[in-house]
């Protein structure tokens, strides 16, 4: 008590979220490209299980198809992050958008199960740049505003999530190849817009020492409870639980409620709309009032409750409000966790840490749908949800061990980055 208080760290303005006008313009372009990219992805994603079944795939193979997208993200995300730290965010984002466009075109022209798998791999490689996009946001706004900015960006992607499945379901009425062609056209327009309108962000710091990627990943395993690493593990486990549920959701709705390719889009529209409202309006207020860590705890609780209760729904009036718990939870959990990772990443290595987060999250995106498809096939449609709820409960316990102090100066630093 008698020791003098340490000097207070510099305080960023905490009034309304108002970065410089140029930063707002960059965020607006990034939000637009993210929205249309996600719209194209979600035009295709809900249709994959139905198309795969038509091509003779088993339930387990449907899970593998869902996981293949994540496998490509796993392989490419840390490389994209490292390349973006060295050569710039803009080139990586442009290449990712282009890869997505190629994937949609392949999806549009194929009637072969293995080519469908190839298209999912290409799309996952393009989506591997999500860590670069998050690093772009971190380069554009200050640490105290990142959860809000990431919430704005994910609100834009939620708009794509909301509209894409409906457009895809409507497009399927013109033939099975129409959704892929429309998604490819959107991707081409997206690449053009990003090329002309999305500038390279100003570098806030330079990287003077580098680790090999394998050493960076090993450090996350060796020091799992350091602040940045803890948040990466929360993101990873949370993504595992979410993707397990998402990987079998279409099969669950088909078996329990008779959903088809022409109606599945409306369920995604509903879920995406709730996510849009949460990220665009509610998240910022919650972060201001509670802070990132408390918000992500609430998110984990909401997802766990939704996953545990959805299998008990036997009618649509019961299902609809229970499904809402999951987009409400993801809108809180993932942006807040990502903001905490960027807050605690060593200076000049934000892209690398975002890439690490996406790489380990990619493991979850691979394994979650695969084991969920296996459990769905061999134990029944309810069990993947209950297993995912148990895992999400563990996420909440891990989040509970994190401190609630929001100032990076008051928390232990991430491990020093050393040359190896």
Residues 88-121 pLDDT 10s? 888 888 888 888 888 899 888 888 888 888 888 8
Domain ranges of the chain: 21-197+212-410
How far is it, in rounded angstroms, from Cα 375 to Cα 390? 14
How far is it, in rounded angstroms, from Cα 176 to Cα 113? 14
For the segment 35-45, what is each residue's pLDDT rounded down to a tens digit?
A: 888 888 888 88
Tell me, what's the pLDDT at 209? 54
How far is it, in rounded angstroms, from Cα 159 to Cα 33? 12
**Which tokens belong to 297?**
């705890």
Decide if pLDDT at 25 tops 50: yes
Tell me, what's the pLDDT at 12? 40
DSSP state of 204: S
Tell me, what's the pLDDT at 203? 62
Tell me, what's the pLDDT at 382? 87
**Which tokens belong to 386?**
């209950």
DSSP state of 5: P
8-14: list long-range contacts, CB under 8 Å, 24+ apart: 9/407, 9/408, 9/409, 9/410, 12/142, 12/143, 12/144, 12/145, 14/144
Q: Are 132 and 81 in contact (CB under 8 A)?
A: yes
Tell me, what's the pLDDT at 343? 77
Tell me, what's the pLDDT at 402? 65
How far is the first Cα of the chain from the last one, in angstroms, to the nearest whole number? 42
Does residue 30 or residue 185 have the better pLDDT?
Answer: 185
Does residue 334 or residue 77 have the better pLDDT?
Answer: 334
CA angle 86, 89, 94 (to 5 degrees): 125
Tell me, what's the pLDDT at 14? 38
Q: State residue 64 phi and psi, 5-degree precision.
A: -65, -40
Average pLDDT over every residue of 42-68: 81
How far is it, in rounded angstroms, from Cα 33 to Cα 193? 8
- Tell me, letter by letter, the H, E, C secondary structure of 383-417: HHHHHHHHHHHHHHHHHHCCCCCCCHHHCCCCCCC
Decide if pLDDT at 414 tops 70: no
Tokens 């796993």 -> residue: 74
Look at the alpha carbons of 385, 391, 397, 399 in this order and tell me if their dihedral is positive or negative.
negative
213 burial (CB, 10 Å; 0-12 / 13-18 / 19+) is middle
Decide if pLDDT at 279 tops 80: no
Tell me, what's the pLDDT at 204? 52
pLDDT band for 9, please (50, 70, 90 cuts).
Answer: very low
Collect all residues with Cβ–Cβ distance below 8 Å to 10 and sequence separation of at least 6.
none
The total number of residues written for the chain in this structure: 420
Q: Are 27 and 198 in contact (CB under 8 A)?
A: no
DSSP state of 380: -
Q: Which fold has domain 21-197+212-410?
A: Growth Hormone; Chain: A; (1.20.1250)
Decide if pLDDT at 291 tops 50: yes
Residue 296: CA atoms inside 13 Å, Cβ hemisphere, count?
Answer: 33
Q: What is the pTM of this model?
A: 0.60
Q: Are 350 and 135 in contact (CB under 8 A)?
A: yes
Does residue 8 or residue 146 have the better pLDDT?
Answer: 146
Chain CA centroid to CA 416, Å: 27
To the nearest 10°, report the CA torsion of 381, 384, 390, 393.
-110
Residue 299: CA atoms inside 13 Å, Cβ hemisphere, count?
Answer: 33
Does residue 227 or residue 379 have the better pLDDT?
Answer: 379
Q: Are 155 and 276 in contact (CB under 8 A)?
A: yes
Tokens 């705890």 -> residue: 297
For the segment 192-239, what is each residue's pLDDT rounded down to a tens digit?
A: 888 888 888 776 544 445 555 566 677 777 777 777 778 888 888 888
Q: Are 69 and 100 in contact (CB under 8 A)?
A: no
% of the chain at pLDDT higher than 90: 1
Mean pLDDT of the chain: 77
How far is it, in rounded angstroms, from Cα 211 to Cα 174? 51
């Amino acid at each position: 008590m008698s020791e003098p208080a340490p000097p207070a760290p510099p305080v960023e303005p905490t009034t309304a979220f108002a970065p410089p006008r140029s930063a707002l313009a960059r965020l607006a372009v990034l939000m637009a490209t993210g929205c249309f990219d996600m719209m194209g992805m979600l035009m295709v994603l809900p249709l994959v299980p139905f198309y795969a079944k038509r091509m003779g795939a088993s339930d387990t193979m449907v899970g593998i198809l869902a996981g293949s997208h994540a496998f490509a993200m796993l392989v490419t995300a840390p490389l994209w992050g490292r390349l973006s730290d060295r050569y710039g965010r803009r080139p990586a984002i442009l290449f990712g958008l282009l890869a997505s466009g190629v994937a949609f075109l392949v999806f549009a022209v194929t009637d072969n199960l293995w080519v469908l798998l190839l298209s999912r791999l290409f799309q996952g490689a393009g989506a591997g740049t999500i860590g670069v996009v998050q690093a772009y946001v971190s380069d554009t706004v200050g640490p105290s505003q990142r959860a809000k900015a990431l919430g704005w960006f994910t609100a834009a992607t939620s708009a794509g999530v909301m509209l894409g499945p409906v457009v895809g379901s409507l497009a399927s009425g013109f033939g099975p190849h129409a959704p892929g062609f429309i998604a490819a056209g959107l991707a081409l327009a997206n690449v053009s817009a990003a090329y002309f309108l999305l500038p390279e962000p100003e570098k806030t710091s330079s990287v003077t020492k580098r680790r090999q990627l394998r050493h960076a990943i090993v450090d996350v395993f060796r020091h799992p409870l350091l602040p940045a690493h803890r948040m990466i593990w929360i993101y990873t486990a949370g993504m595992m639980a979410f993707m397990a549920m998402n990987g079998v959701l279409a099969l669950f709705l088909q078996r329990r409620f008779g959903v088809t390719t022409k109606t599945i889009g409306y369920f995604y529209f509903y879920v995406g709309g709730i996510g849009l409202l949460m990220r665009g309006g509610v998240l910022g207020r919650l972060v201001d009032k509670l802070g990132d860590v408390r918000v992500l705890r609430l998110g984990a609780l909401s997802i766990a409750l939704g996953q545990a209760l959805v299998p008990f729904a036997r009618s649509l009036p019961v299902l609809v409000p229970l499904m809402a718990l999951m987009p409400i939870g993801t809108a809180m959990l993932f942006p807040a966790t990502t903001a905490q990772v960027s807050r605690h990443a060593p200076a000049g290595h934000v892209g690398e840490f975002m890439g690490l987060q996406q790489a380990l999250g990619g493991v979850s995106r691979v394994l979650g749908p695969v084991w969920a498809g296996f459990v769905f096939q061999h134990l029944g449609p309810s069990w993947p949800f209950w297993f995912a709820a148990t895992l999400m409960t563990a996420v909440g316990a891990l989040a509970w061990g994190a401190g609630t102090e929001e100032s990076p100066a008051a928390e232990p630093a991430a491990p020093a980055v050393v040359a190896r």
